[in-house]
Amino acid sequence: MMCRFSRRLPFLTLSVGVIVGFFTYWVIVIRPYKPYKVDEAGFMDSYTVSAGFDNVTGVDHFIVPDIIHFIRFRNFQLGFIDYVALKAAMRNHRPDKFYFHTDVKEAKCEGKYWEWVKNDTELWSRIEIKYLEMPTEIFGQKLSDDSGIYHASDISRLRILKKYGGIYLDNDCYVIQPLDKYRKFECVVNWDEDQFLGNQVIIANKNARILPMWLNTYRVYRSDEWYYNGGERPTQEILHRHPELIHRVKGSFGADTGVSSNLYTDPDMDWRRLDIIHLLASHRSYMDPNFNITPVFDENTIRTYPYPFGEMAREVLDMPQP
């Protein structure tokens, strides 16, 4: 036995050498360069949420993939506010990936702000574009003519999370603090006292029990109401009965419109105490009494803008504070 083994040794060594050599070659040369790995498939099936899930402490490891999801229906342009929000999410949370879900066919990253994104290798290497059909109906009911695009986004964010899990953000959510502490929960939602839940930030495992229930609430769809299905109905039908289905965040995701308006009015606002804030920049025309002084935000007007949003934008754009 010994004898036969040692005669085979050189052959064995050679074989191992060839295998190791090829593997090294494969890792270095053949395998495409992928610096930030997201094991989608692993996350999809590895964690099953059970009925006793502790919504107060969560678990001791990450169960939400580090993917930030944005939805861009009908418009794939990147505007200044979109760019600031993207930079803030990168600077202050640094996810593995950003998925842009869009129904724009062959969406191209063109225009000034996309060019700036491409120039930032760390950021650009994390971006993936996923084609997503915009829904036009739900359970056989046609989506509204006026707010259909918003309702389509409300529905799609739930479906996206059900497919991948991750962190859904509205395009105008500015991330202030790292969000890892929320990646240990089944589902995290901002639900302020005596309010409806805020659906502009949803952090969830793909198997979160609330996601199919939430989608199911669309069996009663009110096309003429902006936030009935987005927030009112899921709060009443699900959260009032089963608050344990979410880790409830109060205030920290900046869902409160009254808080957001301070970004444009209160120089002393303590915005850093929040984890995220909804910028609501497209609502400034009626929300912001100083709107007429600075109707447009861009890389020029922001340099001297005196309210908190100015400081926030300059910070992530590496501009000097005046």
Applying CB under 6 A, the residues found at the interface with ligand NAG are 55-56, 115-116, 119, 243-244, 246-248
Closer residue to ligand NAG (CB): 149 or 317:
317
Min separation Cβ 55 and ligand NAG, Å: 4
Nearer to ligand NAG, 74 or 118 (CB): 118
* Residue type at 318 in one-letter notation: D
Q: Which is nearer to ligand NAG, 62 or 116 (CB)?
A: 116
CA distance 269 to 254: 13
- Total residue count of the chain as it appears in this document: 322
115 vs 266, beta carbon nearer ligand NAG: 115
Residue 199 beta carbon to ligand NAG: minimum distance, rounded to whole angstroms: 16
296-313 as b/e, with b when 16 or more CB fall inside 10 Å?
ebebeebeebebbbbbbb
Sheet with strand 166-169: strands edge to edge = 127-131, 97-102, 67-72, 166-169, 198-204, 187-190, 247-249
Rounded to 10 deg, the angle between the 80-92 and 308-316 helix axes is 70
Compare residues 232 and 299 and give the one whose CB is closer to ligand NAG. 299
Q: Are 119 and 147 in contact (CB under 8 A)?
A: no
Instruction: Give min distance, CB of 281 to ligand NAG, in A.
Output: 23
Q: H/E element holding 100?
A: strand 97-102
